[in-house]
Amino acid sequence: MSENPLADRSRWLLAGLVLAVLAGIVALRLTHWGGLDQTAVFYLGLPAGIALFVVFAARPRSGTGIAMAALTVVLALSAPLLGEGVVCLVIAAPLLYGVVALVTAVATSLLRGGPRSHQALLAVPLLFALALEGVAGVSLLPRQGRGEGGATTSATPAQVAAALAAPPAYGPFEAVFLRAVPFPEPVAATGTGLEAGDTRRVEFTPRTTLRIGAEPTPRHLELEIVESEVRADGGRVVFAVTEDTAFARWMDMHRATATWTARGEGTRMDWTIDYDRTYEPSWYFGPVQAYATDLAAAYLADTFTAGAAPAAAGR
């Protein structure tokens, strides 16, 4: 039995709070209930509450516990200051906790000495090497990435092409990951046509900051068709990114390609998004960015096939 029931109770309370907060954050992001995920309650009150609870309730009894509690306070207090950078903070949080736990365990083992300290010492050069990734352009994995996703519709290839040529009606993200993490969401688009040289401008949810008197900053993505082939049984259109104020801090997006082909009684549409990863370490952010971009490509395919489906139903 523990010698300090009060400390044990504090840890259980902290664990319960963390679980409740995580559940609440996910619920708010998924449902947008009451619009609270876009208010100061979410971005200021919630982090401040977490930080205060950790400071007053947590009573860690080990080096790892102290480090975890300190990291929690730092993350909670830094979130409101990052603006759109909170996307990276949320995604990087598991990596940060993992690194803190590993480094603390190694340091504790070295300080205690004994046979295991020699084994822990072997982890030091490995951690040092991993920490240098990204410095002077060094990357363990290729920076180039591609997201892929598709959807099938009962519409004809001509109807899919017509939907692609017109501004789409963007809906909310359905993928849990895209909804839980505060990515920019498309709200409107302008521009028509499928000929080379035709352009698109996609508007996203605005960027907000905590600067006094600051107004929400619009952000957008501008694209130009650089390749186009439209046939009776399908087609392929390549959109080159000419300006990006929505995702530039997250990735260097180059182009998006839409292809569609007649399949049975309907049409299969696929999207690919080519980009360069801009975050390290590659072994962590590489898979995360690839997964997010796959979901974005699937979202585009669903959006445009949904736009073609009503026309198909009205034949």
**Exposed/middle/buried for residue 19 (C-beta within 10 Å: 0-12, 13-18, 19+):** exposed
Per-residue DSSP letter, 246: S
What's the CA angle centered on 109, arms 105 and 110, to 5 degrees? Answer: 120
Domain residue extents for the chain:
5-131, 144-313
State residue 60's pLDDT score: 59
98 vs 26, 124, 175, CA distance in Å?
A: 21, 15, 26
Q: Cα dihedral sign for 73, 74, 80, 86?
A: negative
Please count the other Cβ atoms lying within 10 Å of the Cβ belonging to residue 124.
13
Per-residue pLDDT of the chain (315 residues; tens, 9 = 90+): 444 555 556 556 655 655 565 555 555 545 555 444 444 344 444 454 555 555 555 565 666 666 677 667 666 666 655 555 566 677 777 877 777 777 777 777 766 666 666 666 666 676 666 666 666 566 778 889 999 999 999 999 999 999 999 999 999 999 988 887 778 899 999 999 999 999 999 999 987 655 555 577 889 999 999 999 999 999 999 999 999 999 887 889 999 999 999 998 899 999 999 999 887 788 888 898 999 999 999 999 999 999 997 544 443
Per-residue DSSP letter, 159: H
145 vs 56, 156, 285, 313, CA distance in Å?
A: 44, 31, 11, 37
Contact 44, 77 (CB under 8 A): no
Neighbouring residues of 263: CB distance < 8 A, sequence distance ≥ 6: 152
Amino acid residing at 298: A
> At 216, is the secondary structure helix, strand, or coil?
coil
| CA of residue 98 relative to chain centroid, distance | 19
State residue 134's pLDDT score: 61
Contact 150, 271 (CB under 8 A): yes
Contact 271, 149 (CB under 8 A): yes
Contact 259, 287 (CB under 8 A): no
Dist CA 220 CA 243 (whole Å)? 8
What's the CA angle centered on 218, arms 243 and 163, to 5 degrees? Answer: 65
Please count the other Cβ atoms lying within 10 Å of the Cβ belonging to residue 171.
12
19 vs 25, 33, 67, 268, CA distance in Å?
A: 10, 19, 19, 41
User: Pairing relation of β-strands 251-263 and 199-207?
Assistant: unpaired
Contact 47, 73 (CB under 8 A): no
Tell me the two tokens of residue 248.
Answer: 């530039």
Closest CA to 165 of 11, 307, 13: 307
- Give the CATH class of 144-313: alpha beta
What phi, psi does 242 have (nearest 5°)? Answer: -100, -25
Q: Which residue has the tokens 């796959």?
A: 294
